[in-house]
Amino acid sequence: MNPIIIGTGVAVGLAAVVLTMLGNPANMGFCIACFLRDIAGACKFHQAPVVQYVRPEIVGLVLGSTIMSLANKEFKARAGSSPAVRFVLGACVMIGALVFLGCPLRMVIRMGGGDLNAFVGLAGFATGILIGIYFLKKGFSLKRNYNVTMTEGFTLPGAMVLLFALVTIAPALFAFSKAGPGSKHAPAMIALVVALVIGALAQKSRICMVGGMRDAVMFKDFNLLSGFVAIFFTVLVGNMVLGNFKGFSTYMQPIAHASQMWNYLGMVVVGWGSVLLGGCPLRQLILAGEGNGDSAVTVFGMIAGAAIAHNFKLAGGAASLQNGVYKIGGIGMNGQIAVGIIFVILLAVSLMNLPKDE
């Protein structure tokens, strides 16, 4: 077992627990999909008033990766591997994640918080990964990337610096939630510093939520999966120590719904799309931080996907108690149709990027 990947998993789990304790939304701590969605909201790309905040965690993760990759000479400006397709896949993965209400990282964090709905999401995630693996074994590829200019490599790190500078100097430019998940946040500088450390560790360790299961199934390589498991147990123990753990249940879990079919299908989308992209949303941030322009495009696609999800009412609604009546939450008709369309897109991308001779 690789101590760097396990150490990174423990650090990610601890960061999630600590940031939640300091104000981040419950069972979230460190959700890439949710936090990109909040940034999309803060930039007024969507108008959902409860999910608007410039999350310093995203800035820190990208820049932590940039600093580490510059230090260990792994920063490389590369791009050109089907960028438009990656943009679309990024949007699809984001919509799938918002149907479930969390990226793969938040899925693990929710599991460690006792949310059984997230275990249904895990089943969907695994199914999506297996579908992706089927196409990888058939020869699926988004083709090669190439050396490009440094401007390409610094696009997302530069955008993050600009975003953080603007929100610090001129916060009135942005929208900030007054209620809901977007209004809950840890102190910005602490969140930034924690994320810088996690970003650096993630760059060094290559931690990836989708890579863990993919490599275990394809190559019997359990290196990345050990990081995934480490996050789960760290969050579980952390919640127990802090008295947040109330046992495993599907009932009234924080910012989660119990519409299991859509928990499952949302994460099938995320698993499948992430395998095609070569990494989970966290990994895309880290790769973009180390100069990968294709991953930067994917992150922009995820931000667009978040805006689409809220502008067209595709995202899941959390379970709630309304006048004492339990509502399981879930997604509306628009979201259901969107998931259907996304499956068609994923299938088309998977089939059209197979080798011609197979």
Partner 1 sequence: MVDARGLSCPLPVVMVQKEVNKNNPNELDVQVDAMVCVENVTRFAHSQGYEVTVEEQDGEYTMHLKK
- Contact residues toward partner 1 (CB under 8 A) are 74, 76, 78, 81, 136-137, 141-142, 144-146, 206, 208, 211, 214-215, 218-221, 223, 278-279, 294
Identify which of 126, 107, 118, 125 has the alpha carbon closest to the alpha carbon of residue 248.
118
Task: Give the count of beta carbons closer than 10 Å to the beta carbon of residue 336.
Answer: 16
Q: Which residues contact 37 (CB under 8 A, 6 or more apart)?
A: 46, 51, 94, 98, 306, 309, 310, 315
List C-alpha distances in Å: 134 to 278, 334, 354: 14, 29, 11
CB of 282 to partner 1, least distance (A): 14
Output 66 or 239, the one with its CB closest to partner 1.
Answer: 66
Output 4 or 193, the one with its CB closest to partner 1.
Answer: 4
Output 219 or 324, the one with its CB closest to partner 1.
Answer: 219
| Cα–Cα distance for residue pair 260/250, rounded to 1 Å | 10
CB of 34 to partner 1, least distance (A): 25
Output 169 or 357, the one with its CB closest to partner 1.
Answer: 357
CB of 132 to partner 1, least distance (A): 10
| Cα–Cα distance for residue pair 105/216, rounded to 1 Å | 18
CB of 285 to partner 1, least distance (A): 15
Cα dihedral 132/133/135/137 (nearest 10): 170
CB of 220 to partner 1, least distance (A): 7
| Cα–Cα distance for residue pair 280/208, rounded to 1 Å | 6
Output 144 or 356, the one with its CB closest to partner 1.
Answer: 144
Alpha carbon of residue 195 to chain centroid: 14
User: What does the DSSP 8-state code read for residue 257?
Assistant: -
Beta bridge partners of 315: none
Output 163 or 208, the one with its CB closest to partner 1.
Answer: 208
CB of 74 to partner 1, least distance (A): 6
